[in-house]
A = this chain, B = another copy of it.
């Protein structure tokens, strides 16, 4: 038995791991290894695997430390050897960083500790060795501060209080009336370290650990612990990342961007993460550590000259001032810039995708600390994929697989109406950190955002800067705007990941958290006021600016075209109105998969006749009322069938409990009493008689049509009547009539009889025949279980996964809120099954029904309607079980098209792999 390898080293152009091992080493660890292998300068280090993270949560801290001890100590020696210094050696000290790194990028979600290995002795040695006492003590106070925060839990007590260490810094600076951190002298930095340690002792009751090895274990465990912190859990929930993936821990020799003016640190992107344009860009800070760039505390400078000029223009800064105060790296460190530029190109070529890189310059030497595929907006995602395809960097299949279906949602969000935009008042400009239009009520705190959002209102989150604690608030906001921070600040990176519009570094904004006001050039806005953000231009706009629907054009249209080339699954839409149908057609819907007829009854004139029908207690009374409804229904169907000319339109017969239609208020009841010439008491009695204990399991669906066949007959007349009219006018209507809520084949047969007889009669009378289909919805478990019986009669199946999920789980969607949050939190459920199809249970029934149905009717058309039809993993499932189409709301049609294409491409990739494998086996056999 080989012992499990828990630690992988890298450094000096060699590595035990590589880029393919990201599941085990995390993105950061795998890429550090890979960069070594392709000759990118990376400080030496080692990575503890993600498997250890799981062991950590199963076996506990002590057990895992014992397991790792030997390997970690050996690996520290490996770094010492390559860096030619020693951990904890005051004469020649090695400092390290300890970083998290999961399989998927989770920016800012977990913790990092820098400058680890310092103590009162080592700091002196560092000062001596570098001849830079200020640097040494600044590093020391940063380390104590960071370690105190991350490992020892020194957080602010509540959100209005500032960080306890920052409070001490402010105190110390006040003594000499200093403004900036870097104005502090060595004595003051030494004092800070002392005060920090006292504060730590006071709060935790323990001394700050001075043993570097003890520090290292504390940091490693803290990184593992951070995998389970609240914001990381929330992030994973939003992104659908399983907690079993775990995080790796990378320990790396420190290199310093804060060793004076020949040192710097920065972040760069090989293409524009917001727009997708092929422009190298990034930000850097001279004499700083990496955290300073990401945290958004100091305003970073642009790396390229072009970027710097554009930035200055947006910020209203003159070229003169820019050049002197905020020069680009291209200007200030041209040699380093050249190296940086070459390496970023090399990395993009190597990974064949847009790279997001971190680097540090230590006294004129460039080190890469990290590279990864960059997060990007939906717009950028599409543009980059199509650009890389055009540049022959990737093939069509890869281009399709590179796009995340859900992110297309951003491209379908409304954009500001151009005319409205022209009239709107621009309050100020910031950086266009994440494109799109956002409009809502101003809130200043994440939890306020959640509260106001829960009331059904749109919100704009306004912050001085954001931190990982703001994640939940950002998730519900329409847009985010911050006073500080650059294009790579926390707010910018997270917002792009979420596809939210975001403006950062809007420096003219002044935020007062206590008063909850936003002041811009003297104009005071309060919490609750409307604000609009144009994330594509960086404009902050006053009040509410009108928006209009998005269109499928340009790269987006090309991507969709590419998808259709590969897809096997057709995409239809759920639409009840001609307008929705038209929108969906423009997004590429190939038909209507679900046209609900009940919504049509709620218009004033129709609802009265409908109520009369329901409240009649005789067949004659019902028929008289239905005759009033018929002409309205016929017009409804006429318009929809016309809009969807040439395309199948699947119309579901009346489905909801009748109780939903009748008046429950006295006024409405009196009106009905008058209309029907009976007493209010009688109306009330009849309304009460319709009340049900569990309406979801009650008198609805085909149970209505079977108890009142006259309703089915009327609806058939309306559908067939509309189709005949269109046919006479030269259209090609293709109606499909769907019987809902079948559980027993006899239910279908009885309804089919009514439909066929009604239609035949009409065809005879009109002397014209229109082809139509009769199918059923499979949404009751029993229907799936007996699908072989049902398929003998039904011409198609449409899976109503909303109801099927309700019945299969025994959950009422209306009542799930009382336990779903607990279930998600306790991991009893990983996702809400009403959002993501439960493949194991509900999916099993679908698979069973398709197999049983096609066994008796091989040509049986099977589709899915309901919320799941637009959810990418569910769409892929539909492809796998062999459905013919999915149907979803108009705005999810492109998402479904992409997901369907990806499912087909995955099949092709698997086939290719199989072929390769067989070929390799064949070759091997030859030899």
Query: Contact residues of A with B, CB < 8 Å?
Result: 692-699, 703, 706-707, 741, 743-744, 746-747, 750, 779-782, 785-786, 803, 806-812, 814-815, 818-819, 822-823, 826-829, 838, 840-842, 844-845
- Residue of B694, B747, B779, B841 touching A828 (CB-CB under 8 A): B747
In the bound complex, residues from chain B placing their C-beta under 8 Å from that of A779 are 810
Contacts A694-B814, A844-B785; is A750 near B808 (CB within 8 Å)?
no
User: What separation, in Å, do the CA atoms of A844 and B845 have in the docked complex?
Assistant: 12
* A696 in contact with B693 (CB, 8 Å): yes
In addition to A694-B812, A746-B826, A785-B844, 4 A-B residue pairs with Cβ atoms within 8 Å of each other are A697-B811, A781-B808, A782-B809, A786-B840
Q: Say how far A625's CB is from chain B's closest CB, in angstroms.
A: 19
Chain A to chain B contacts (Cβ below 8 Å), 8 pairs: A693-B696, A699-B819, A707-B818, A707-B822, A743-B808, A743-B809, A746-B828, A781-B807
Q: Say how far A55's CB is from chain B's closest CB, in angstroms.
A: 21
- Residue of B692, B827, B845 touching A814 (CB-CB under 8 A): B692
User: What separation, in Å, do the CA atoms of A808 and B845 have in the docked complex?
Assistant: 11
Q: Say how far A852's CB is from chain B's closest CB, in angstroms.
A: 11
User: What separation, in Å, do the CA atoms of A806 and B741 have in the docked complex?
Assistant: 14
User: What separation, in Å, do the CA atoms of A694 and B838 have in the docked complex?
Assistant: 21
User: What separation, in Å, do the CA atoms of A842 and B812 have in the docked complex?
Assistant: 20
Q: Say how far A827's CB is from chain B's closest CB, in angstroms.
A: 7
Please name the residue on chain B nearest to A696 by beta carbon: B694
* B707 in contact with A810 (CB, 8 Å): no
Q: How many chain copies?
A: 2
In the bound complex, residues from chain B placing their C-beta under 8 Å from that of A706 are 819, 822-823, 826, 828
Most buried by B among A695, A785, A844: A785
Contacts A746-B828, A828-B747; is A806 near B697 (CB within 8 Å)?
yes
User: What separation, in Å, do the CA atoms of A806 and B810 have in the docked complex?
Assistant: 9
Q: Report, nearest first, the 7 A-B pairs whose CB atoms are least far apart.
A: A697-B812, A694-B812, A698-B815, A782-B841, A693-B814, A699-B818, A746-B828
Most buried by B among A695, A780, A781: A781
In the bound complex, residues from chain B placing their C-beta under 8 Å from that of A809 are 743, 780, 782
In the bound complex, residues from chain B placing their C-beta under 8 Å from that of A743 are 808-811, 841
* A818 in contact with B698 (CB, 8 Å): yes
Q: Say how far A917's CB is from chain B's closest CB, in angstroms.
A: 30
Most buried by B among A693, A699, A810, A845: A810
In the bound complex, residues from chain B placing their C-beta under 8 Å from that of A785 are 808, 840-841, 844-845
User: What separation, in Å, do the CA atoms of A822 and B780 have in the docked complex?
Assistant: 20
Contacts A750-B828, A807-B807, A826-B706; is A812 near B692 (CB within 8 Å)?
yes
Q: Say how far A139's CB is from chain B's closest CB, in angstroms.
A: 46
User: What separation, in Å, do the CA atoms of A695 and B808 have in the docked complex?
Assistant: 16
In the bound complex, residues from chain B placing their C-beta under 8 Å from that of A750 are 826, 828
- Residue of B815, B829, B844 touching A746 (CB-CB under 8 A): B829
Q: Say how far A778's CB is from chain B's closest CB, in angstroms.
A: 12
* A815 in contact with B695 (CB, 8 Å): yes
In the bound complex, residues from chain B placing their C-beta under 8 Å from that of A844 are 785-786
User: What separation, in Å, do the CA atoms of A733 and B919 have in the docked complex?
Assistant: 66
Please name the residue on chain B nearest to A701 by beta carbon: B810
* B812 in contact with A803 (CB, 8 Å): no
* B744 in contact with A810 (CB, 8 Å): no
Please name the residue on chain B nearest to A747 by beta carbon: B828
Q: Say how far A790's CB is from chain B's closest CB, in angstroms.
A: 11
Please name the residue on chain B nearest to A742 by beta carbon: B810
In the bound complex, residues from chain B placing their C-beta under 8 Å from that of A747 are 828
User: What separation, in Å, do the CA atoms of A841 and B781 have in the docked complex?
Assistant: 8
In the bound complex, residues from chain B placing their C-beta under 8 Å from that of A840 are 785-786
* A692 in contact with B781 (CB, 8 Å): no
* B781 in contact with A815 (CB, 8 Å): no
Q: Say how far A667's CB is from chain B's closest CB, in angstroms.
A: 24
In the bound complex, residues from chain B placing their C-beta under 8 Å from that of A780 are 808-810
* B803 in contact with A744 (CB, 8 Å): no
* A815 in contact with B845 (CB, 8 Å): no
User: What separation, in Å, do the CA atoms of A815 and B694 have in the docked complex?
Assistant: 7
In the bound complex, residues from chain B placing their C-beta under 8 Å from that of A829 are 744, 746
Please name the residue on chain B nearest to A749 by beta carbon: B828
User: What separation, in Å, do the CA atoms of A809 and B699 have in the docked complex?
Assistant: 12
User: What separation, in Å, do the CA atoms of A779 and B741 have in the docked complex?
Assistant: 20
Contacts A694-B694, A807-B807, A829-B746; is A707 near B819 (CB within 8 Å)?
yes
- Residue of B810, B818, B823, B828 touching A807 (CB-CB under 8 A): B810
Q: Say how far A320's CB is from chain B's closest CB, in angstroms.
A: 64
Please name the residue on chain B nearest to A658 by beta carbon: B818
Contacts A781-B807, A844-B785; is A827 near B696 (CB within 8 Å)?
no
* B815 in contact with A744 (CB, 8 Å): no
Please name the residue on chain B nearest to A821 by beta carbon: B707
* B699 in contact with A815 (CB, 8 Å): yes
Q: Say how far A339's CB is from chain B's closest CB, in angstroms.
A: 52
In the bound complex, residues from chain B placing their C-beta under 8 Å from that of A697 are 694, 696-697, 806, 810-812, 815
Q: Say how far A794's CB is from chain B's closest CB, in angstroms.
A: 15
Q: Say how far A406's CB is from chain B's closest CB, in angstroms.
A: 25
User: What separation, in Å, do the CA atoms of A786 and B695 have in the docked complex?
Assistant: 27
User: What separation, in Å, do the CA atoms of A844 and B844 have in the docked complex?
Assistant: 14
User: What separation, in Å, do the CA atoms of A703 and B779 have in the docked complex?
Assistant: 23
In the bound complex, residues from chain B placing their C-beta under 8 Å from that of A841 are 743, 781-782, 785-786
In the bound complex, residues from chain B placing their C-beta under 8 Å from that of A808 are 743, 780-782, 785, 807
User: What separation, in Å, do the CA atoms of A706 and B822 have in the docked complex?
Assistant: 8
Q: Say how far A819's CB is from chain B's closest CB, in angstroms.
A: 5
Please name the residue on chain B nearest to A782 by beta carbon: B841
In the bound complex, residues from chain B placing their C-beta under 8 Å from that of A826 are 706, 746, 750
User: What separation, in Å, do the CA atoms of A707 and B819 have in the docked complex?
Assistant: 6
User: What separation, in Å, do the CA atoms of A806 and B828 have in the docked complex?
Assistant: 24
In the bound complex, residues from chain B placing their C-beta under 8 Å from that of A707 are 818-819, 822
* B815 in contact with A693 (CB, 8 Å): yes
Please name the residue on chain B nearest to A689 by beta carbon: B818
In the bound complex, residues from chain B placing their C-beta under 8 Å from that of A744 are 828-829
User: What separation, in Å, do the CA atoms of A807 and B784 have in the docked complex?
Assistant: 13
In the bound complex, residues from chain B placing their C-beta under 8 Å from that of A827 are 746
* B781 in contact with A845 (CB, 8 Å): yes
- Residue of B810, B815, B823, B828 touching A692 (CB-CB under 8 A): B815
* A695 in contact with B698 (CB, 8 Å): no
Please name the residue on chain B nearest to A827 by beta carbon: B746
User: What separation, in Å, do the CA atoms of A829 and B842 have in the docked complex?
Assistant: 25
User: What separation, in Å, do the CA atoms of A741 and B809 have in the docked complex?
Assistant: 9
Q: Say how far A845's CB is from chain B's closest CB, in angstroms.
A: 7
Please name the residue on chain B nearest to A806 by beta carbon: B697
In the bound complex, residues from chain B placing their C-beta under 8 Å from that of A845 are 781, 785
- Residue of B698, B741, B815, B823 touching A812 (CB-CB under 8 A): B698
User: What separation, in Å, do the CA atoms of A694 and B815 have in the docked complex?
Assistant: 7
In the bound complex, residues from chain B placing their C-beta under 8 Å from that of A803 are 810
In the bound complex, residues from chain B placing their C-beta under 8 Å from that of A703 are 818-819, 823
